[in-house]
Structure 1
Amino acid sequence: MKIIHALFLSASCFLASCDNSDQAKSSANRASATEATANIEEVLDANTHKIVVNEKIASGGYVYIKVTEKGKEYWMAVPGRPIEIGATYYYDGGMEMQNFESKTLNRTFESVIFAEGIRNQAQKVKTVAKKSAPQGSPQVKDIEKAPNGIRIAELFNNMNDYSNKEVIIKGQVVKVNNGVMNVNFVHLQDGTIGNGQYDITVTTDDNFSVGEVVTIKGNVILNKDFGAGYTYDVLVEKAVKL
């Protein structure tokens, strides 16, 4: 009987030890999960802005929104979209413009953050590139060169030769951002590739529509830096539609 009692005590101690070990492992797993969640939140906080919208003004294809982020209030400008007052949104990056004058609003902002857009989710939604426009190739077919003009490939292959010079380029409009820093940003392609580049950015006061084939004249500027990481190796400024 003493032997059976001793065996029972040993088994009880063993089971208790296993139970404690399982509890310890479970606690450790919960702690690891909590730590991982905290690390994810830290990454989101470091790379993503979380804002609450207090006020909005739609103008010139953009929506100017007064937001609060971590107790700080400031103005932003994003491409036109439905925005709800009091709602929480997220965005990445952004470019600050100080003493920005909006001609459409007839108002000067002490500071405005221009962002490519805002979203409802903290994390970005991955997008799949269209098969018709694979990454690394032009979206348009070959477009004939304008009289007295150059091809986009020529510009990218000989940027230094065209620096601070006036050029004429014929191409198709593939993207338009109007009213950014009081000018319109237009992307042109003509089907040619130079130095691995095929899309030239143009700033202009004229109006363009995506899909139209146009001829423009403007001044070539190299290493243009708008701040906040928005830089261009080559840019055609003050372009006019011919």
Structure 2
Amino acid sequence: MKKIALALLLGASLYAATPHTAKVLENMNSGGYTYMKVDDGKNTYWIAMTQRDVKKGDNISFTEQGWMKNFHSKTLNRTFDNILFAGDASTSGHTQETIQFKPDILTSQYKMKNTLTVAEMFKNREKYVAKNITVRGKVTKVSSGIMGKNWVHIQDGSRFKNMDDLVFTTAQNTPKPGDVVYASGKLAKDKDFGYGYFYPVIIEESNFRK
């Protein structure tokens, strides 16, 4: 259970949560956690979250915190090939509950010449893979010394498919929350750090200047 708790705790600190809606096909409680097999209309998979009242047939909305491969639950005595750790769950037993996407905002008041917006990073990630990019925005969170890296969250008021928080990793000194900075680094997509830490977009080898 320490492994689950660590995944959920760090996930809350590091992830830009990705929203999902799915139907519960199976569920079981064990060790203070609820495990559910769900169908989101495209894929069927297992998710885990802190224990809650849910039943087969419920529609559940939740945010993605990270995938883990070959996860073994000691209390269930079962190994899951792939399981998604999730949070921010809400359920509906009668009507289909869907994630409401806010309108996309591709521009930013912080954007300057030769910079890109957070929304542009998410929307056009294929275009910028392995390229050095610069975003100007406000630091919203800093997590230091996790997996040998410092993790800096940047927002600039732009948004694409509800994604508005871009994570930069660095081994250097970091700015403080509230600072407005130019954040530069190399873009990676679908980055899997292991232990369930998966990012659709992340900026690595980053540096910051005001």
Higher helix proportion (structure 1 or 2): 1
Q: Determine which structure has the larger strand proportion and give its number.
A: 2
- Larger RCO: Structure 1 or Structure 2 (Cα < 8 Å, ≥ 6 residues apart)? 2
Q: State the TM-score, normalized to the length of structure 1.
A: 0.43
Q: TM-score, normalised by structure 2?
A: 0.49
Max radius of gyration: which structure? 1
